[in-house]
Amino acid sequence: MADIDVVIVGAGIVGLATAASFARSGQSTIVLEKNPSFGEETSSRNSEVIHAGMYYPTDSLKAQLCVEGNRLIYDYCKPRGIMANAIGKLIVATSDAEVAGLHDIYARGIENGLAALELIDAQKIKSLEPAIKAIAAIYSPTSGIVDSHSVMLACLGELEDGGGALVRSSPFIGAKQKNGEWEISVGGDEPTSITAKTLVLSAGLWSDKAAANVIGLDANFIPKMHYAKGNYFRYMGKAPFSHLIYPMPSVGGLGIHLTPDAAGHARFGPDAQAVEVLDYQVDVTKKPIFAESIRAYWPELDESLLTPDYAGIRPKIGNALHEFVDFQILDETNHGLGGLICLFGIDSPGLTSSFAIANKVLRRAKNL
Ligand SMILES: Cc1cc2nc3c(=O)[nH]c(=O)nc-3n(C[C@H](O)[C@H](O)[C@H](O)COP(=O)(O)OP(=O)(O)OC[C@H]3O[C@@H](n4cnc5c(N)ncnc54)[C@H](O)[C@@H]3O)c2cc1C
């Protein structure tokens, strides 16, 4: 008999939401994390935006899980007193050349079930955000911001309430199947091994490396990982905005957008740049490029008040920047190994989708 029902590798938002789901369903669960604490990588280096789901092709997992996850994350936060505010978002077109693309995003959003989206004109934009210069926009009332650290903390609490545990500074070394169970090697100060019925790999930027250490997993099921870095700059002056402001999407990302904060300041970013190494230093040479991009929709920007903030790195699979690539959630029906679920390419909107991904993993583990 296995030591435990479920081992999850990776304590980011997705691993923890998944662990909470398993714990809620009565399964004994542990999460292995190589770092000293949870959420120290991509889950704490993002925009903390709850997306609505208008950017992604309708049949994609990203569209389905983002739309479902948007509702689930607000529902999760409300009774727990976690900040999740639907402050609304404007995607702005600043020139005639951008209007057709804006209409395409709107049409896709409607197709994805976002009935509340509105196309608005320059006058309505001015009434919502007087400082913005744009000729047309999409208004998305269900987009918002969330305190993702508190969400992770709440999921950890649920895991522990269900008798599970986060095992810190304990890297997953590898796994092999034995008598229908997974024998899992764990590193760290006191290396050990544990057996589990279900093994979930939710290792973010390291998911290819973790999967490569599962004996018997065909390498054809392990996608090549690329990294796409995103820098953020903070605006140290007053930023007179109450909504999320997004330009039209650019190569590899959603464009250098504005996230207002409660103190009346704002954060701008991320950009998107293919990188080879995991280096979180903000590239300060990007400041003039940020300023030019922001001025397209906020001409009053004072560039001298932009200051380097932080950077995050997207785990991209497929062509790093240039093509749409969906989330991959692979189970026995894909790779033939019972009790193994592998998550790859959980870049944006992975935070928004986290509870929907968790539900999907739970259903796959139960063969539903
Ligand atoms: C710049 C940027 C902006 C973004 N903005 C948004 C946004 O506004 N909204 C949104 O919805 N999404 C956004 N995203 C995407 C979102 O942040 C991610 O999809 C999400 O955080 C992924 O969570 P995760 O748990 O899969 O990965 P991670 O947070 O990377 O967690 C994986 C964990 O696995 C651990 N791990 C790896 N290997 C091992 C091992 N061998 N043993 C043990 N542990 C291991 C790591 O240490 C890490 O803690 C953004 C991403 C970036 C980079």
Structural domains of the chain sorted by starting position, each given as residue range(s) with its CATH number in brackets: 4-47+149-224+324-365 (3.50.50.60), 89-141+225-317 (3.30.9.10)
Report how far ligand 1's centroid is from the alpha carbon of 337 (Å).
25
Average pLDDT over residues 120-133: 97
Q: What is the value of ipTM here, to two decimals?
A: 0.99
pLDDT value at residue 356: 98
Pocket test for ligand 1, best of 41, 89, 200, 246 (most atoms within 8 A of CB): 41
In short, whether 260's Cβ falls inside 6 Å of ligand 1 is no
In the predicted model, is pLDDT for residue 202 greater than 70?
Answer: yes
Relative to the CA of 228, which ligand 1 atom is closest?
Answer: 53
Residue listed under structure tokens 């464009």: 255
- Span 43-74, pLDDT tens digits: 999 999 999 999 999 999 999 999 999 999 99
Pocket test for ligand 1, best of 47, 85, 280 (most atoms within 8 A of CB): 47
pLDDT value at residue 320: 60
In the predicted model, is pLDDT for residue 368 greater than 60?
Answer: no
Of the candidates 330, 339, 244, the residue with the CA atom closest to the CA atom of residue 48: 244
The C-alpha atoms of residue 46 and residue 26 are separated, in whole angstroms, by 31
Pocket test for ligand 1, best of 42, 74, 91, 207 (most atoms within 8 A of CB): 42
**Cβ contact 230:313 at 8 Å:** yes
